[in-house]
Amino acid sequence: MSASLERGVALFKEAIDAPIASFFSSCVHCGLCAEACEFYVDTGDPKYTPIHKLDPLKRLWRQEYTLVGRIAKALGLSRPITDAELAEWSELVYDSCTLCARCSMVCPVGNDIAYMVRKMREGMAVAGHAPEGLIFATTRTINVGSPMGVSIDTVKAQIRHQEKETGETIPLDRVGVDYMVLLSSMEVVNYPEYLGALAKIFKQAGVTWTLSSDGFEATNSGIQIGVSDLAREIVQRVVDAAEKLKVKGVVSPECGHAYTALRWEGPNLIGRPYPFEVVHIVELLDRLRQEGRLRTSGKTDTPLTFHDPCQLVRRGGVIDQPRNLLREVAGDFRDVADRGVMNWCCGGGGGVSTNDRAEPLRLAAFRQKKEQLDAAGVSTLVTACANCRVVMEEALEAYHMEHVQVLGLTELVAEHLAQAEEARKAA
Amino acid sequence: MTVTSMDLLLWARGPGFEAAVVIFTLGMVWRLIEIFSLGRKPDLSLPRERAGASGLNTVFRRFLFPPGMLRRAPVTYLGGYVFHIGFGIVLLFFIPHIELARGVVGFGWPGLPTPVVDLVAVITMVTLVVMLVSRITDPAKRLISTVEDYLTWALTLAPLLTGYLAYHHLLLPYQTMLAVHILAAELLLVAMPFTKLIHFVTVFPARWYNGDLFGHKGVPS
């Protein structure tokens, strides 16, 4: 057994806890997880059955943590995990799973399969079976500061550009404000108008805020690839920056996995709770709306629907907020059947979008989404995750549906912000 | 020495039964210790509270169809319900079974008329056959199926089938078939802790953990 494989197997062993042992013990191989998984539903290939993606981990659990399995192992009757097997499983664990957790919602015995895939990736990465694209993204985050190689200078250039565009100020490194705002490099590169939208909204709502030059990147490919010490380092940057600026809260951008990384995994990675709160921008906007600090006027007549980012909704608990905001600004909102916590993933979450070799599969897995759009009969798709947005824009092109426009919810809200004067009158 | 059907029946009712109960009990305790002694790390992130999002909620909610799923897998869902309910009725409401329980635990409960139980047994067995066909023909189920799945299927069918044959005096003399029936039930009992059949107990902690993991984030799962 090679040293890396040995370390990988050791991490598999370490990953197995009482929940996982309960899950594996209970699985009756009913196959319902397959019916919930877009990679199976859209390709019909049984190897994409979610529980099958965990096969090596399950076998290890049996060999190490069950009586019958240990006896079989002692008698030489069980098959050890090999590098060749993990190499084969790399596609199943990284390419055909976005950690969307739709399977975890339907398993009749309650298996949280996404929880297990996330843990299995730890061993896979150490054993050397993570995909190139994700390794590259993670290395760049550590070395440059962001997975797409965006540096603080690029951010500064976008700040200047957006300030000119909107006439608002975008503060950098301001101490003692309410919120430190994070970005995903996807936004910095493709949707810088998010920054301008925030400047306008926060001005109206009277929220003080800042960006930090020490920690601006919210996404964490260390988590997606499954390397905890790198994930910890990436989270630590944000925590250090927020503590240095003495902010009350950190705003996670329109990105699902960044929210999961910061809000739910971060404290566990650094080993202590945060002294500040973490909110997703959509969560914050809805809170401001409820407090009457965010006022909109007029609605768009364009028929539109909403794509729930998995990590924001099913894995994040920000469920009603996007629709509360949409009701304020959309005159013709057409919801889809499988929505909210049962939404279908864009196909590119969990690091799949940074994993080049997964592209054909990711595009195939978009079919559910396409059918949802066709059924809703809309040509505008609003979401709250820049990664979903890029993934869906690419997929729409591949499906010859370029007429469908994808919008960020924050920008849509900013477009309908009541004029400052109106806001003053109302107050 | 020849073993008569009476010897077999006496063994099945006496030492066989006791051995099965002991193996089942010790096996269950052992397996549950194996599972829970693994423990889990505390979650340091601040939980989000939401009504309906908790371990207990999920334990109950998973008895229902998740939205949109019945349409996608009608055979699995309906088969699953019919089999479990049917098996439960035959096991718990067949009057001789209740009498057996009265002998062991000291109390009984009202049973169902035997023709009703008989019909339920047939429906349950037919459902098991349908589920087996589905396991073999459905590509996803077929891929993830192991020897254990087919073995536990047979172990589950055996008490139903032998009970049915014994009651209708088919195939073997009644006394012999009854002994085979009891042995089949004991075999099932012995297999329970060491196979996926243990889900009849572990389904509750598994669902609870699922609901708790989701519930921590304020998601009703």
pLDDT for position A425: 59
Across the A:B interface, residue pairs with CB atoms under 8 Å apart total 179
Which residues span the domain enclosing B185?
Answer: 5-37+66-202
Tell me what ipTM this predicted complex has: 0.96
| pLDDT higher than 90, residue A42 | yes
Among A180, A344, A308, A349, smallest CA distance to A253 is for A180
Instruction: Decide if pLDDT at A121 tops 60.
Output: yes
Does residue A204 surpass a pLDDT of 60?
yes
Q: Which residues of A are less than 8 Å from B73 in CB distance?
A: 31-32, 35
Q: Given 3.90.1580, 2.40.50, 1.10.1060, 3.30.50, which CATH number is that of A3-130?
A: 1.10.1060
Report the alpha-carbon distance of residue A308 to residue A368 in Å, rounded: 13
> Rounded distance, CA A359 to CA A95, Å?
8
Residue B95, domain member (yes or no)? yes
Contact between B76 and A31 using a beta-carbon 8 Å cutoff: yes
A25 vs chain B: nearest CA distance in angstroms? 6
Rounded mean pLDDT of A324-353? 95
Q: Considering the domain boundaries, does residue B23 fall inside one? A: yes
Q: How far apart are CA A314 and CA A105, in angstroms?
A: 9
The radius of gyration of chain B from alpha carbons, rounded to an integer in Å, stands at 21
Q: How far is A338 from chain B (nearest CA, A)?
A: 7
Choose between B172 and A185: higher pLDDT.
B172
Tell whether B42 is covered by a domain. no
The per-residue pLDDT for A422 is: 59
The rounded mean pLDDT for chain A is 94
Q: State the best of B26, B45, B82 to mutate against chain A, taking most chain A CBs within 10 Å.
A: B45
The DSSP bridge partners found for residue A277 are A249
CATH number of this structure's domain A134-290, picked from the four choices 1.10.10, 1.10.287, 3.30.1490, 3.40.50: 3.40.50
Q: How confident is the model at residue A141 (pLDDT cuts 50, 70, 90)?
A: confident
pLDDT at A140: 87
Cβ contact B196–A26 (<8 Å): yes
- Residues B38-57 have pLDDT tens digits of 999 999 999 999 999 999 99
Is B51 touching A (CB cutoff 8 A)? no
Whether residue B214 is contained in a domain is answered as no
Q: Which residues contact A172 (CB under 8 A, 6 or more apart)?
A: A156, A159, A210, A211, A212, A213
In a domain, B78, yes or no: yes
| pLDDT-derived band at A320, boundaries 50, 70, 90 | very high
Residue B159's pLDDT is: 98
pLDDT at residue number A2: 87
| Contact residues, chain A, for B37 at CB < 8 Å | 18
Q: What's the mean pLDDT in B8-13?
A: 94
Q: What is the pLDDT of residue B5?
A: 87
Report percent pLDDT > 90 for chain A.
88
Q: What's the whole-model pTM score?
A: 0.95
The tally of domains found in chain B comes to: 1
Q: What is the mean pLDDT of residues A139-145?
A: 85
What gap in Å lies between CA A59 and CA A55, rounded to an integer? 6
**Region of residue A31 (phi > 0: left; psi between -120 and 50: alpha; otherwise: beta):** left
Percent of chain B with pLDDT over 70: 100
Which residues in B lie closer than 8 A to residue A107 (C-beta atoms)?
62, 210
CATH number at residue B79: 1.20.950.20
B149 contacts A317? CB cut-off 8 A: no
Q: Does B203 touch chain A (CB under 8 A)?
A: yes
Best mean pLDDT range from A132-136, B64-68, B175-179: B175-179
Residue A1 has pLDDT above 80, yes or no: no
In a domain, B72, yes or no: yes
As a whole number, mean pLDDT of residues A373-392 equals 94
Cα of A46 to nearest chain B Cα, Å: 4
Contact predicate B86/B127, CB 8 Å: yes
Indicate whether A420 pLDDT > 60: no
The arithmetic mean of pLDDT across residues A4-15, rounded, is 96
Of the candidates B45, B66, B138, the beta carbon closest to that of A263 is on: B45
CATH 3.40.50 in chain A: give the residue spans.
134-290
State whether A317 and B218 contact (CB < 8 Å): yes
pLDDT at B44: 97
Mean per-residue pLDDT, A53-76: 96
Kindly tell me if the per-residue pLDDT of A245 is higher than 60: yes
Q: What is the pLDDT of residue B1?
A: 60
CB contact under 8 A, B202 and A66: no
For chain A, give every residue range classified as CATH 1.10.1060. Answer: 3-130
| Interval B142-168 mean pLDDT | 98
Residue A421, pLDDT above cutoff 60: no
Q: Select the residue from B207, B208, B212, B216 to test the A interface by mutation, using most A Cβ atoms within 10 A.
A: B207
SS3 A394: helix
Of A27, A52, A264, the CB nearest to B143: A52
| Structure-token match 């009504």, residue found | B51
Q: Which two tokens stand for residue B133?
A: 């066909």
Q: What is the pLDDT of residue B161?
A: 98
Residue A427 pLDDT level (bands cut at 50, 70, 90):
low
Tokens 């998995």 -> residue: A310
From the list B168, B162, B179, the residue with the least C-alpha distance to B5 is B179
Report CA-CA distances (Å) from B215 to A56, A234, A312, B46, B57: 28, 26, 14, 12, 9
Say yes or no: B208 contacts chain A, CB-CB below 8 A. yes
Asked whether A198 and A281 are in contact (CB, 8 A), the reply is yes
Cα–Cα–Cα angle for B157, B163, B167, nearest 5°?
Answer: 150
Task: Check residue A423 and give its pLDDT.
Answer: 52
Strands (E), chain B: none
pLDDT at A254 over 70: yes
Residue range A149-177, pLDDT digits in tens: 888 999 999 999 999 999 999 999 999 99
